[in-house]
Structure 1
Amino acid sequence: MDLFALPPVAAVLGGAYHALMSLTHLLEPALGVGAAAAAVVAVTLAVRAALIPVGISQARAERTRVRLAPRVAELRLRHRADPEALQRATMQLYADEGTTPLAGCLPMLLQAPVIGVIYSVFVHAEIAGEANALLGHTLFGVPLGSSLVGVLSGGAPGVAAVVVLGVLVLAVALVGELTRRAALPGGRLAVPSATTVPGPAGMQRALGALQFVTAVVACFVPLAAGLYLLVTVAWTLVQRVLLRRRFPLRPEGGARPALP
């Protein structure tokens, strides 16, 4: 079953597509053939800006988890032989603080449909029963509907296409790596290892894998979607750095993490 064929979803997708194409036409007098790529970047930035409250909510929730980490560790030690008592005590601790261990997760889930619709505009060849004209526009002579894997597997690839698509994939990988390093112990987003929430090594591995997967995905998706991914990962990096300054991660009674 194609979810995007459902009338309500198709209507939303069609509306987003037509809005994007209207912006493209609006930018054409000033930007010419680069108008579509600029529209992709502008729409992505607008969506990320609209989701800033979600990022703030997640940063606050993460700060609360780190602040309470020493007390949670004490509860684990105290109730290590009684998992049910540990769960009750942990939930009571968070309730006393006016929050829950899952704080920040709901806003993250709510943003998924918005991101899904916008991303779909960049990857679907047909929208609302018509060809996706966006993918026929070009950036530096390379169609927004082309992908790095598609170009390389299509016979004799053009130099311009390989360069543009290759640079985009490398840029996604580079920004993803910067994001991963920023979250490592000793990085600007780091938390002292003795006071972090449980499973920091696993979280770091997951973050590293996510950045790698994003770069791999950029190899397969159309250039339009690759631009979306690049803007998104760059925005995520900047937003995380700024929010860590606004909501520093410190345990209760702990010193401020040292900056490099």
Structure 2
Amino acid sequence: MLAFSPVHDAVGAAGAAVTWLAGVLAPLTGGAATAAAIVLFTVAVRLLISPLTLAQVRGERRRAALAPEVRRLQQRYADDPAKLQQELFALYRRAGASPLAGCLPALLQAPFFLVMYRLFVTGDGSVGLLDETLAGVPLGWHLGDGLSGPVVVVFGGLLVVLLGSAWSLSRRAKRALAATGTVAGTPTEGPGAAVLGRLVPLLPYGVVPVALVVPLAAVLYLVTTTAWTVLEQVVLRRPRPPHVGVRRQLRAGPGEPLDRNS
């Protein structure tokens, strides 16, 4: 049934796109054409889903701006969970925000990442993709297949970049948590806050052990998409002045929509 699934068709289309890109890049990059095509294709996919990422960031900012109000309500109605939920719902409704709004863009991105995983880990949808090479190392090579000189250089260089990107994301997550007390715009308080505070900065490093067991093609994908995430963090989640739009909305009536530019 998988052969007839939409995912299989999408993987086939993605494989055809990578193969076409490799043919276009071959005169410029020679034997590294397929590796370069993987990088460009990954960037193209990230650009394609960037509106979803932007929507996610906007939702996080709205929820972060509401965090002080959320904390006050949590303290005020700590002994009345039903009333707390009612007041939180009213707060988010007045501000035109939603505590779950940030989840939808992330869920919509999942099929894209599934296609990329299938393409670069198994080579599905692209004949011979994993047989191509980068600096003499086949794109289907795993670290467990052996550590020759070229393998150490290629994998070592990519892992250094991956670790650097993960460190940058971890550092930014730690700073955001310390500055705002929120994760993805959601306040982090209560018994599990300390554990969450230690866990969140470690999450970006989760790609590193994955890179140790997947083929080189998938490592190229992981490095590119993680570096792109760092770029998005720098551009989209740069520090902003105090948010006034939500405060103004909270003073206004529930019939007035939130300023979308705020």
TM-score bracket, shorter-length normalisation: 0.7 to 0.9
Tell me the distance in 1 between the aligned counterparts of 2:231 and 2:14: 26
- Post-superposition shift, 1:115? 1.7
Alignment deviations for residues 57-83 of structure 1 (CA, whole Å, 9 cap, x no partner): 111111111111111111111111110
- Post-superposition shift, 1:177? 0.8
Equivalent residues, number: 241
Contact in 1 for aligned 2:174/2:201 (Cα 8 Å)? no
Contact in 2 for aligned 1:63/1:249 (Cα 8 Å)? no
Check if 1:150 corresponds to 2:127. no
> Which amino acid in structure 1 is aligned with residue 179 of structure 2?
V
3-state SS of paired residue (1:220): coil
Which position in structure 2 is the counterpart of 1:245? 238
2:165 to 168, 172, 175: 175
Alignment deviations for residues 102-155 of structure 1 (CA, whole Å, 9 cap, x no partner): 112111101110121122111114x35xx741111111111111122333xxxx
1:58-137 paired onto structure 2 within 5 Å? 58-125=56-123, 127=124, 132-137=127-132
Which position in structure 1 is the counterpart of 2:255? none
Check if 1:198 corresponds to 2:198. no
Over the residues paired in the alignment, what is the CA RMSD in angstroms?
2.5
Tell me the distance in 1 between the aligned counterparts of 2:194 and 2:69: 20
Contact in 1 for aligned 2:42/2:221 (Cα 8 Å)? yes
Contact in 2 for aligned 1:40/1:228 (Cα 8 Å)? yes
Contact in 2 for aligned 1:57/1:107 (Cα 8 Å)? yes
Contact in 2 for aligned 1:79/1:86 (Cα 8 Å)? yes
- Post-superposition shift, 1:249? 7.0
Structure 1 segments of 4 or more deviating over 6 A?
none
3-state SS of paired residue (2:99): coil
Tell me the distance in 2 between the aligned counterparts of 1:90 and 1:54: 25
3-state SS of paired residue (1:207): helix
Identify the range of structure 1 (163-172 vs 137-146) with the bigger mean alpha-carbon deviation. 163-172
Q: Which runs of 5+ in 1 are unaligned?
A: 152-156, 254-260
Check if 1:210 corresponds to 2:203. yes
- Post-superposition shift, 1:164? 0.9
Alignment deviations for residues 178-231 of structure 1 (CA, whole Å, 9 cap, x no partner): 11112223x7x8624499722465444333332222011011111111111111
1:36-55 paired onto structure 2 within 5 Å? 36-55=34-53
1:164 to 154, 162, 183: 154
Tell me the distance in 2 between the aligned counterparts of 1:92 and 1:220: 47
CA distance 1:192–1:18, change in 2 (3 Å): closer
Which position in structure 2 is the counterpart of 1:257? none
- Post-superposition shift, 1:170? 2.4
Which position in structure 1 is the counterpart of 2:256? none
Tell me the distance in 2 between the aligned counterparts of 1:172 and 1:51: 21
CA distance 1:111–1:180, change in 2 (3 Å): same
Contact in 1 for aligned 2:64/2:180 (Cα 8 Å)? no
3-state SS of paired residue (1:106): helix
CA distance 1:7–1:63, change in 2 (3 Å): closer
3-state SS of paired residue (2:141): coil
Q: Which runs of 5+ in 2 are unaligned?
A: 248-262
Which position in structure 1 is the counterpart of 2:259? none
Superposition TM-score, scaled by structure 2 size: 0.83
